[in-house]
Amino acid sequence: MGETSLFRRVLFTFHMPIFFLLCGLALVTHKGKGQNGWCDFLRRMALSFIFPYFLWSLIYSNFSYRNLIWLLYGSYEALIRAGTLPILWFFPCMFVARIILEGVLSLASSFDSLKRFALPLLAVFLFLAGILLPKLGNLSYPWCINIAFTAAGFMLLGYSMKPLIEKVGKNPVCTVLIFVLSVTVFIAGSVLRAESLEMVLLRSGDYGDIVWFFVNSLSGCLLVLSISSLISRNWKKHGPVINEQNEEGINRVTMGILVIHMPLLQQVVLPLLGFIPFSIPKMLIFLVGMVLTKFISGYLIKVIARYVPQLFGIFPGRQMEMINSEEI
């Protein structure tokens, strides 16, 4: 396989797990206590993920009742049949994953004294549930339920790692050691395996070799976190390493990458760069395209977040308060 193909396979070993893990690190929205706790939480999650899911799905597809049925099914394969942006599978998956995660956290709160050990164990059970669910025909599971268990596992792992990350992030020696260890394991498990490296397609529940999937995804996540800590030099900061008010920002950036950055890169920028009249290595074209797209999509994301934040599931200020105060 070619250089670009290897790059893509290496990237796909961890690019979705790191999204889910970061969402777990920035988790601040939880169900409230009382009779309406779950109803209010479900409404918030629906506004954050399902509302923008249908908006973007309709933007990228021609409306018909047949397509609407596929959109309601919500799997990657169904979205292809609806003629919309297939990567929108992330939205219903995140909705289901957040519900699963909140249920697990509610369960863990009942034995608070063992919570430190219970959370990683519960994450293992979530991984097992996502992996062991049998294949379901050509359409996979509705709303990516099988993938949602795996996603919730990575989110729970991120959530349970927060205290450890706070400690390690303040210690430059530990940060460097984790960087060296993670980059060594990741390169050994992905780049050096070359032709043996399977293509991981989390959107369809295809993990390749399960053991290598977890080795590469976890080492890749640690590599990204350690690089971020080294660049930020967290040990010189007095505040916390993780900003717990970032969940809304994580959702906005993630959605922006999925619905604007990637389509713009794949359908506009890269095809236009292909018209360059002289020969350029494909990897260089891809990197140039990534940089150009980042500036363009970054500006578009800021404009949309400012004037139509609802497209990213954000209902600011009074609008959210009004929605929360409505009768269920």
Q: What is the pLDDT of residues 57-72, one digit of tens each?
A: 999 988 899 999 999 9
- At residue 255, the pLDDT reads 79
Q: What is the pTM of this model?
A: 0.86
Phi/psi at 206 (nearest 5 deg)?
-100, 110
Give 30: exposed, middle or buried? Use CB within 10 Å, 0-12, 13-18, 19+: middle
Residue 299 has pLDDT above 60, yes or no: yes
The dihedral of CA 105, 107, 113, 116: what is its sign?
negative
Residue 322 has pLDDT above 50, yes or no: no
Question: 229: part of which helix (H) or strand (E)?
Answer: helix 210-232
* pLDDT tens sequence across 72-129: 999 999 999 999 999 999 999 999 999 999 999 988 887 776 777 788 899 999 999 9
Rounded CA-CA distance 82/68 in Å is: 7
Helix (H, G, I), strand (E, B) or coil at 201: strand
Q: Which of 34-38, 92-96, 122-126, 150-154 has the lowest mean pLDDT?
A: 34-38
| Nearest residue to 301 (alpha-carbon basis) of 266, 260, 267 | 260
Band the pLDDT of 248: cuts 50, 70, 90. low
- At residue 249, the pLDDT reads 56
Q: Which of 124-128, 179-183, 195-199, 313-317 has the lowest mean pLDDT?
A: 313-317
Rounded CA-CA distance 37/295 in Å is: 40
- Average pLDDT, stretch 231-259? 72
Q: What angle do CA 21, 244, 120 make, to 5 degrees?
A: 40
- CA 151 and chain centroid, separation: 8
